[in-house]
Every structure is written in structure tokens, then in C-alpha cells.
Chain A
Amino acid sequence: MAEKFTKGMARNIYYGGGFFFLLLLLGLTVDTVRQLPERSNDEKITPEVALGKELWETNNCIGCHSLMGEGAYYAPELANVFDRRGLANEEAFKGFMQAWLAAQPMDNPGRRKMPQFDLSQEEVDALAEFLIWTSRINDNDWPPNIEG
């Protein structure tokens, strides 16, 4: 590096650059937070959806599954499980969820195991509502196909 480039200049790039891009991030955040309610159908968050999210969290589902591609990669993606397993039919999906959660853990030697979470029928319905709502968030058309 040429000696003309001093420590003072480097410091100014750090402070100036850091400050500028922090401000830009703040601006983009304001805009994103304005757009997110519409992109996520915020008005459709019912108490059931909220309960579903709470159950999703308190049972640490993210410890095995991914949701919108975030989480663990040990078990299938669930942001589009409504489309994959419920064929986008709400009643069919709730029926599937009841049966699926009741059947865990499955007796299938060597296969990855899902624990039994002992959820009530209402709780499983709430979880289903949460996943249905999640599947409708505008996510720029991810994932590429139904398999997630």
C-alpha cells in the first residue's frame, strides 16, 4: 500500500462507510416494515394463528424442520407443507395434521424420528392454521417446487 494512504484515511472510511450503510439499512428497514403487513396478510392473523406460532416455538419445531428455509435441515420444509400434504385444502390439511401428529413417533427402524408432543385437537388445528397462514406469505415464489 502506498504510504500516502494514511491511518486517518482508513479510519474515515470506517466511520463514514459504517455510518452511511447503517443509515441506509435503517431506511430500508422502515420501508420493509411498511410493506410486510400486506405481503404477509397481517390482517388474517387470527388468535388461532397466534396460538399456532406459540406452539411452533414452545415445541422447538425449528430444531429439526425449516420454515421458509430457515431452521434445521433434518426434517422437511414446512412453509409449503399446506400445499404439499393438504393439497391447498384447509379441511384436508387439518385432517392430515391430526393424523400425522398422533402417529408420532412412527415405528420405522433407523428412520429419523419425530417426538410425540401430546398436543390437544384444538392445538393441532391452531398449528395447522399457523402453517396455512405462513404458506400464503409473499416469499418471491420460493421454494422452486412442491417438495420444499
Chain B
Amino acid sequence: MKYTSQLVAKPYFIMALILFAGQIVFGLLMGIQYIDGDIGFPAIPFNVARMVHVNLLIIWILFGFMGASYYLVPEESETELFSPRLARITFWVFAAAAVATVLGYLLVPYAELARITQNHLLPTMGREFLEQPTITKFGIVLVCLSFIFNIGMTILKGRKTVVNMVLITGLVGLAVFFLFSFYNPVNLALDKYFWWFVVHLWVEGVWELILGAILAFVLIKVTGVDREHIEKWLYLIIAMALISGLIGMGHHYFWIGPPEYWLWMGSVFSALEPVPFFMMVLFAFKMVRERRRQHHNQVAVTWALGTSVMAFLGAGVWGFIHTLAPVNYYTHATQLTAAHGHLAFFGAYAMIVMCIISYAMPILRGRPQGNPVSAQKVEKFGFWAMCIAMSGITLALTVAGALQVALQRIPESGEALSFMATQGELMGMYWVRLGFGVLFALGLVAYFASFFVGAKTVDVEARAPLPETP
């Protein structure tokens, strides 16, 4: 570690992983409820489990992004963090708000939570992914402002690298687009239109900038490839992300009220959305092939390559499958969407956070060369188990979605099966999904265990000379 203030990243990473574990617990519960609707009811109805599952995902990814920023920005800027104290305070505020909100979901009925938190004063609750009480949303804004101020001031006083500038652009975009979550007009069509300004412009827009910046940083560190070269690729990737993704938002506007021209605009531009992800695969493999040194933290390299491949498959290929309007007409809101959502979020965002954790955490723990080989082996097992499990979940849901289209969507009214009857036909696939969900949980346990393997060898490896960093 070059700057002591990078240490503030550590609690962010730990918190991210704790919330990740919580997300998986509720994911398993939902996997079971898909098969037997009585399990957990009425204590934790499906809607509550889903809200917790998805909100935990968003929060842990945000913790991961923050930890990544606190770690890499001082190193890129070549200066200490502007205020480590502010970063620590922000951590506790965010952690407390996150835990309180999730407990609110679990302990009181949602309508009661809306009453307690005075939702009627500024109604923002009850929309998918934006279920947080309005007061929590204000808390998120405050946390983001404090975080961006801290990161921004650090960059201002230090070196302004491309990685830094792309990262801060992504973070500012994240904060700005979140403001649309406070806009909840009475007109549902208008509400839905601007709801996507948070959801799409996050995950298919500014988050890709953050993803690109973190990936570029890790690749610079583990491959030693010339920074100029990596930065050129980074610019091209995020250029394609914005060029395809901004108007690509139209693929969400096909069937929710906006005019017909979105049908072709959304189709054409979102069909280009796999391009930046494909470039990311080329980028990661090219840089690793051209590496100038062999970093001892091999598993961090595995994560960097893995995230590019899985993001390309999940966000790119599985997005493309159902993004064209004539196809989406039949697949919209089937299990195919769930398949795409799972692999895309895991590949792009869960894996990039685990990638930076895999690179940075050993250093924060006094292991500049990475974890001992024994720990890396366990971590690699976790990597493969989670990747295979998520691929299995995706394939099971893809088959379920295809069946749903065939049974419920394509036949004429009167001949098509009803929603619930169709769901009965998909039960086999839901069992397969649950099986892979259990495998995923095992992979996660192995991943966690890797943090505690081989502590004794650390001293020796810590004293070994560090590979040169450009």
C-alpha cells in the first residue's frame, strides 16, 4: 500500500461482502418460494424477500464502488485521500442507513413502513429497485455527496489520470441520475419513463464507466502494460458504452407508453450494447497476454478476465437475445429477463467488485504480493463455483423463459395458457435454478473461507520484493 489513507477502503469491502452474503440468503429463499409458495409466508412474503435481495445487491455494489474508489484514487492521484476521517464517518452513516432500511423491510409491513417514514410528504416508495423510504433516499444522496466531495478533492490536489477522470465522471453521473428517484409523477407513463433514468442510465450507462475504470486500474497493476495503451482502450470502451447505451435506453420504452419511434431507435442502439462489453473482453485478454510482469496475485488476474467474459455474456449476449422489439414483444417480462438480469449483474458488477477486492484486500492486509497460493486456490475454487452456478441459473431461467413464450405468449387469446398455469409447467426449471443457487452459495462460502487460509505464510511473502509498478 502506497498511501495509508487507502486503508479506509477496508471496511467498505468487508461490508460489501457481508451484504452480498445477505443477498444470497434471500435469493435462496425466493428460489424456494418459486417452488413452494407456503415457505416463509406470511412472515417474509415474496415481495419482501425480493426487495431485500435486490436492495442488498444495489447497496453492496455501491459499497464496493466506494471501497474501490477510496483504494485506487489516492494511488492514481499519488497523494493521500483528502479526508480519511470523512470517509470513515460516511461509512458508518451508510452502513447504519442500509441496515436500518433492510430491517424496516423485514420487520414491518411495507405500507406501515411508508406511513412511519412519512412517504406521503414526498412519495417515492414502492417502485421497483427504488423501494427505499424517502428519508433513506436523502441519506443516499448525502452519502454520495460526501463520498464524491472526498474523492473529487483528492483528485483535484493530485495527479489527474484517465482512470481517475473516468471514475469520477461515472460517480458524478451515478449521483446525478439518482436524483430522478425523487420524481414520481401521478401519471404512471411519465413515472416509468423517468424511472429508467435511474435504472438504465446507472447499469447500462455510468456504472460501465466505473466498471471500466476499476478494470483498467487492476490491469495496469497486475500486467504492467503501458498506461497510455490501457487508457486508449478505456476511452474507446466507455465511448461505445455511451454511444450505444444512451439511446439504447429505448429498448425499455417499447411497451410502457412512449411513442413508436422508440421501437426502432431502441432496437438499433441497444443492439450495439454488446460492443463495449466485447471490447472489454479483447482488452482484458490482450493486456494480460502482453503483460510485462508476472504478478503473484494470480487470482486477481482471473477475476479481471472473468468479469469481462461474464459481463459480455450476461449484459451483451443475453441482453441482445431479447432486445430487438419484434422479439421483445414476446419475451418482455418473462423469465428471460430474469436470466439476463442475473448474469449481467453478476458478471459486470458483482465480479468487478470481487476483482478489486481480490487485488486490493491482500495489500490492505499487509500482503503486497497477494494472498498465499493456498488461499488463492480456495478463492479460485469459489470463483469457478460461482461462475458455473450463475451460468446454470441463467440457462435454467432461459429455458423457463423460452417455455413461457411458447406456452403463454405466442398462442392466441383463449388458447394460451394462463400465467399461473404456465408457471406450473416451469417447475422443473425452477428446481434446476434452485440447485445452482445452492452451488452458488457454496462457492460464496469457499470465497469467504479463502480470506482465512494460509495466514502463516504471509510474513515471508510480504518481505519478498514487490514487482515493479509503472
Inter-chain contacts of B36 with A (CB < 8 A): 110
Inter-chain contacts of A144 with B (CB < 8 A): 329-330, 409-410
Set B37, B188, B231: member contacting A113, Cβ < 8 A: B37
Inter-chain contacts of B192 with A (CB < 8 A): 68, 70
List residues 94-148 of chain A with CB under 8 A from any CB of chain B.
105, 109-113, 115, 117, 130, 133-134, 137-140, 142-148
Q: How far is the CB of B360 from chain A (nearest CB, A)?
A: 26
Inter-chain contacts of B412 with A (CB < 8 A): 145
Which of chain A's residues has its CB closest to B238's CB? A14
B164-197 interface code vs A (CB 8 A; 1 in, 0 out): 0000000000000000000010111110110000
Q: How far is the CB of A91 from chain B (nearest CB, A)?
A: 22
- In contact, A45 and B186 (Cβ under 8 angstroms): yes
- In contact, A137 and B335 (Cβ under 8 angstroms): no
- In contact, A66 and B125 (Cβ under 8 angstroms): no
- In contact, B47 and A63 (Cβ under 8 angstroms): yes
- In contact, A21 and B189 (Cβ under 8 angstroms): no
Judge whether B256 is part of the interface by a CB distance below 8 angstroms.
Answer: yes
List residues 245-271 of chain B with CB under 8 A from any CB of chain A.
246-247, 249, 253-263, 265
Instruction: Decide if the interface of chain B is mainly helix, strand, loop or mixed.
Output: helix
Q: How far is the CB of B146 from chain A (nearest CB, A)?
A: 26
Judge whether A89 is part of the interface by a CB distance below 8 angstroms.
Answer: no
A-B contact count (CB 8 A): 232
Set A62, A117, A140, A146: member contacting B126, Cβ < 8 A: A62
Inter-chain contacts of B128 with A (CB < 8 A): 62-63, 70-72
Inter-chain contacts of A138 with B (CB < 8 A): 257
In angstroms, Cα B113 to Cα A29, docked, is 33
Set A18, A33, A77, A139: member contacting B419, Cβ < 8 A: A77
Inter-chain contacts of B334 with A (CB < 8 A): 73
Which of chain A's residues has its CB closest to B47's CB? A63
Judge whether B103 is part of the interface by a CB distance below 8 angstroms.
Answer: no
Known A32-B258, A39-B189; judge A146-B413 contact (CB<8 A): yes
Set A13, A53, A142: member contacting B255, Cβ < 8 A: A142
In angstroms, Cα B258 to Cα A28, docked, is 10
Inter-chain contacts of A110 with B (CB < 8 A): 36-38
- In contact, A59 and B110 (Cβ under 8 angstroms): yes
List residues 47-71 of chain B with CB under 8 A from any CB of chain A.
47-48, 50-51
Known A59-B126, A64-B47, A145-B411; judge A73-B257 contact (CB<8 A): no
- In contact, B189 and A147 (Cβ under 8 angstroms): no
Set A36, A54, A60: member contacting B131, Cβ < 8 A: A60
- In contact, A60 and B329 (Cβ under 8 angstroms): no
In angstroms, Cα B259 to Cα A138, docked, is 9
Which of chain A's residues has its CB closest to B286's CB? A1
- In contact, A53 and B186 (Cβ under 8 angstroms): yes
Known A13-B239, A25-B249, A105-B41; judge A58-B257 contact (CB<8 A): no
- In contact, B111 and A69 (Cβ under 8 angstroms): no
Which of chain B's residues has its CB closest to A63's CB? B47
- In contact, A17 and B125 (Cβ under 8 angstroms): no
In angstroms, Cα B309 to Cα A116, docked, is 44
Set A10, A35, A112, A117: member contacting B239, Cβ < 8 A: A10
Inter-chain contacts of A54 with B (CB < 8 A): 120, 123
- In contact, B337 and A22 (Cβ under 8 angstroms): no
- In contact, B46 and A39 (Cβ under 8 angstroms): no
Inter-chain contacts of A143 with B (CB < 8 A): 255, 332, 409
In angstroms, Cα B247 to Cα A72, docked, is 25
Inter-chain contacts of A13 with B (CB < 8 A): 235-236, 239
Inter-chain contacts of B337 with A (CB < 8 A): 73
- In contact, B110 and A142 (Cβ under 8 angstroms): no
Which of chain A's residues has its CB closest to B110's CB? A60
- In contact, A40 and B47 (Cβ under 8 angstroms): no
Q: How far is the CB of B188 from chain A (nearest CB, A)?
A: 6
- Could you list some 13 contacts between A and B, CB below 8 A? A7-B228, A14-B235, A58-B125, A58-B126, A59-B110, A62-B126, A62-B127, A63-B48, A69-B333, A74-B34, A76-B418, A140-B255, A147-B416
Interface residues of A (CB under 8 A from B): 1, 5-7, 10-11, 13-14, 17-18, 21-22, 24-25, 28-29, 31-33, 35-37, 39-40, 42, 45, 49-50, 53-54, 56-64, 66-77, 105, 109-113, 115, 117, 130, 133-134, 137-140, 142-148
- 12 further interface pairs, Cβ-Cβ under 8 Å (given A32-B259, A68-B188, A144-B410): A1-B232, A7-B232, A14-B236, A17-B239, A21-B243, A21-B247, A58-B123, A64-B47, A111-B37, A112-B33, A113-B45, A113-B46
